[in-house]
Amino acid sequence: MEFSHPDHSLVVNVPAKLNLFLEVLARRNDGYHEIENLMVAVSIYDSLFFAVDCSGKLQIDCAWASGLATELGRSEASAMGKLPDPQDNLVWHAVERLRQRAGVELGAAIRLVKRIPAAAGLGGASGDAAAGLLLANRAWGLNWPREKLIAVAAEIGSDIPFFLNCEPAVFCGRGDQLQRVVEFCPLAVVVVRPPTGLRTADVYGECRPAKTAVPLLPLLSAGQNGNLPLVAKCMTNRLQPAAAGLSPWIQKMQQVFEKSDCLGHQMTGSGSSYFGVCRNTYHARRIASRIRSMGVGQVFNATTFPTSPLGTNDPNRRIRHGHYRGSHQVGGEF
């Protein structure tokens, strides 16, 4: 793809997410499930570049960051997952939907540089789609408010509205309805994406809703008070048993983390990624190094975004002018 006007593009780094709490309450008539879900953003990033194309063409190019296989090693690089074809990419669908809703005749050249693994329960595709909406809104001069973008986002995917804010938040419905933003402490975590991924639809298809729902309030209280051991104890993911029935890697991850000295651990989203909560960033680096040596997948040590009263989590504040110099290099400030 020819990247139009590369020196006049907008660029944003978009984080992954972790589900600290995911309870499945009921199966809905529309085929989805009613859930209660606490999500936090985590410092694992993709980069999205967006340049206006006055011809009206909408093009997207997506690739893993260059040098990733060398940086991670073969065993970890194999756990990245498969990238979708351009017009199956959620970024393309989100930007095209916004263009239709706004009646825009302009196009765009979009380049997505991936570091968040695919089919991993980390929300990479959803976050990228949200970034596409934010950059298109800015580059095309629409200046739509966040609430209006959220309505478009919810039409594309359940997790996308979360990434338009990136604050710790509780979502309900099929996961697209913001119930409330919550105060929550930062967490040092280790995240592992095993060599095989899982399809969200397959995992939900095997999941049985809770007969007695796990309460969310104890986790929210622990997070508000910064009680890390209690946060780890109160985490839950109703999808994990279903995922374990589909992939032996979920039980393998559980066994690895049980021996890791983490405060607590579980699968995120519909998998297959698994994470552990650590005492601090040093503890996370030490555990990540130990797990990395086992060759069980792609390993990250990262930090979750705490509640931001000053709005520093707002992804709009991370948009910069920059230029594309290669799939791992970004011009402009971050």
Active site residues: 17, 159
> What is the C-alpha separation between 160 and 175, in angstroms, rounded?
9
For 146, counting Cβ atoms within 10 Å of its Cβ (0-12 exposed, 13-18 middle, 19+ buried), the class is middle
Residue 300, helix vs strand vs coil: strand
Instruction: Tell me which residue has tokens 């995240």.
Output: 191
Distance of CA 247 to the CA centre of its chain: 21
Those residues whose C-beta lies under 8 Å from the C-beta of residue 329, and which sit 6 or more positions away, are none
Instruction: Tell me which residue has tokens 């879900």.
Output: 37
Question: φ and ψ at 116, to 5 degrees?
Answer: -80, 125
- Give the 3-state secondary structure percentages of the chain, helix then strand then coil, rounded to 5: 35, 30, 35
Residue 177, helix vs strand vs coil: strand
